[in-house]
Amino acid sequence: MELSGAEIVWECLIREGVDLVFGYPGGAILPTYDTLSSYPQIHHVLTRHEQGAAHMADGYARATGRVGVAMATSGPGATNLVTGLATAMLDSSPVVCITGQVPTSVIGHNAFQEADITGVTLPITKHNYLVTSVEELAFSIREAFYIARSGRPGPVLIDLPKDVQTARTEFHYPTDEIRLPGYQPVPTAPEEKINRARTLIRSAERPVILAGRGVLLSGAVAELREFAERTETPVGLTLLGKGCFPEDHPLCLGMMGMHGTGEANHTVQEADLLLAFGMRFDDRVTGNLATYAPKARKIHIDIDPSEIDKNVEVEVGIAGDLRQTLTDLLAGLEPIEHGDWIKRITRWRDESEERELLNQVLTSPQLKAAEVVHDLWTLTGGNAITVTDVGQHQMWVAQYYAHSPEHALITSGGMGTMGFGLPGGIGAAMGRPGDEVWVVVGDGGFQMTLAELATAVQEQVKVNIALINNGYLGMVRQWQELFYEKRYNATPMVSPDFCALAAAYGIPAVRVSERSQIEAAVRRAQDHTAGPFLIEFVVEQHDVVFPMVPAGSDLHDMIRRPINGPGREKEIQS
C-alpha cells in the first residue's frame, strides 16, 4: 500500500510493539501528528516540555524493559530532548526519539527552527539518523529499534525532514534479519577466559562481587545469587544495580562508593579478587583510582567491550552477555567457603550499624529525611517502584529503601540529572499501571520539571510524590558545609507553597513535619486512586548524607557519622 512518510512512522511503531508515545507537537513534525488520529492503537501523552517527554520515555523503558518513545519538533523542540538522551545514554536505557526537521531543500541554510540535531546528539546517542528519503524511512525505524534494545541498550534518534513526512511511497515493513557491519551486540565469551576466571575464583581468599545494572538488563538475578552462594562471595551494589541482589541476604554489602556502606567500601579495599558484573567502574564507585582495590586481582564481565580496561585495568576481561557468562562459569565451579573473610566483614557491618542514624539517640525533634524513606519502605512493604530525582534524597532512598528485581530503583545515575524524578515517575507509572509508584524528589530538582504535574493530571496517572523539602540545594549545601567552610552561596532556596501549588493543579496534598504524621499521610496517598497525590515532608535543613567519600579521595577515607550522637564534626575512618 502507498503511504506518506507520516503514516509510515505510525505503522512502523505499531509493528515494533509501541502503544504509548510521549511528545510535544510543532510545525516540523505536524504532518506526523496530523495522521495520529488514524492510529488509535497508539496513545499519545502530551507533555509540558520536551525534556519531560524524554524522561518519561526513559522511565517507561526502565520500568517495563520495552523501548520508550518520545517525539518532538525541530530546533528547540529537538534540543530540549538532549538532556534526556544523555541521561538514557549513560544509564543504558532503550529510548527512540523522533524529531521533525526542516525540509531537505533548506537544511544547512539556518531555516526557521533548524538545528543540526544529529550533530548535537552524536556523542550522547547509541546511533542517530537523518532520513532524507521516504523510501529509507521504514528500514531506518526498524533498525533504530533494533539498535536501541539489542546488546547494551541505549537511545537512538531519528531526524525526519518535513518533506519526507509528506512524501509518499509503497510501504513494505522490513522483516529480514538486521545485520550491521561492525556491530556485534552480544559478543561471545571465549572459553579460555572463562577458564582463567575460574582459576582466579578458586584461588581467592577475600573475593567480592561488584554488581551493576547489567545484572538486571541481562536477566541474571538468579545466576548472580547462585554464584554468590556457591562461592560464598559478598556482593556490593552500584546505585543502578540496586534490586539485583536481595538486600536482606547475609552476603549483601549494600551500596558501594561515595555514599556506600562502610562494610562495602572496606571490603573492596581489602579484597584480593574483584568480580565486576555488569558495571563500569564509575568514579563515584571507585574514588581515587590510584588507590582503588590495591590488593585485588580483577575480573570484569560486561556486554560492552569498550568498558573493559577503560577505567580500571583487569586481569581477565570478558565481553559477553552476563547471564550466559555466569551460567558458563557456574558449570565448572564447585562450592567454595570463605568463612574467615565473612567474619571480618561482619565486624565492619556491626561497626556501621553503630553509626547508623536510625540507631542513634536523636536530640533534635526535626524530621529526618532518612526517617521518611525508611518509613516509606516499611509502609509499602518494599513493593513500590521508587523513582528519584538527584541529590541527598536520592542517596537516602538508595540507603534506606531495599529494592527488588521487580521494583528496582529508577534514577539518573551516570548523568545525575536534576528534574528526572517527576517525569521519569510518570513514565514508569504509565508503563506499570498496576504497581505502586513513589516519586521521591527534592525541592530543587522538583521545580525544574514540576510543569509535568499537569501531564499527570491530564492523564490521571496514579503516582505518589514524596517531596523532601529542606529549603536548600541539599547536596551542594552538604559539600559547602564539609569542604567550603560553610559558605552557602546560591544554595538557600525560596520555594512556593507546594501544597497550594498542588491544589492549583487539582492534586490533593498534605504537609508532614513530624515522624508521627508519616503513616497517616502515606496511607492517604495510597488510598487515593484518582490521579497523583503529593506529600511535602519538611525535614531538617542541615542534615548530611553519611558515609561520604570526598570526590577523588581514597575509597577507604570515608567521612562517617560519629557513633555518639548526630554531631557534625568530621571523622575520618581510614
Q: Which residue is it, cell 584461588?
A: 203
Give Cα separations from 326 to 153, 228, 395 (angstroms): 20, 11, 30
Taking the C-alpha atoms of residue 118 and residue 563, their distance in angstroms, rounded to an integer, is 53
Residue of 7, 11, 16, 50 with catalytic role: 50
CB 3 within 8 A of CB 11: yes
Q: Which three cell numbers, joined as nine digits, stand for 336?
A: 567454595
Q: Report residue 172 CA to chain centroid gap.
A: 36
Active site residue 145: no
Residue of 126, 162, 242, 368 with catalytic role: 162
521: CB partners within 8 A, 6+ apart: 510, 512, 535
Amino acid in the structure at residue 464: N
Active site residue 89: no
Residue of 89, 256, 279, 475 with catalytic role: 475
62 burial (CB, 10 Å; 0-12 / 13-18 / 19+) is buried
Q: Please name which of 179, 177, 178, 166 lies closest in space to residue 8, comparing C-alpha atoms.
A: 166
Q: Please name which of 29, 424, 459, 78 lies closest in space to residue 10, comparing C-alpha atoms.
A: 29
Active site residue 486: no
Active site residue 368: no
For the chain, the residue count is 574
User: Residue 46 forms beta bridges with which residues?
Assistant: 23
Per DSSP, the residues of 22-44 read EE---GGGHHHHHTGGG-TTSEE
CB 446 within 8 A of CB 501: no
DSSP letter at 441 equals E
Q: Is the peptide bond before 174 cis (omega within 30 degrees of 0)?
A: no
365: CB partners within 8 A, 6+ apart: 514
349 burial (CB, 10 Å; 0-12 / 13-18 / 19+) is buried
CB 317 within 8 A of CB 308: yes
Active site residue 227: no
Please compute Rg for the chain using Cα positions: 24
Amino acid in the structure at residue 365: P
Taking the C-alpha atoms of residue 237 and residue 227, their distance in angstroms, rounded to an integer, is 15
Q: Report residue 348 CA to chain centroid gap.
A: 29
CB 439 within 8 A of CB 465: yes
Query: What residues are labeled active site?
Result: 50, 112-113, 162, 475
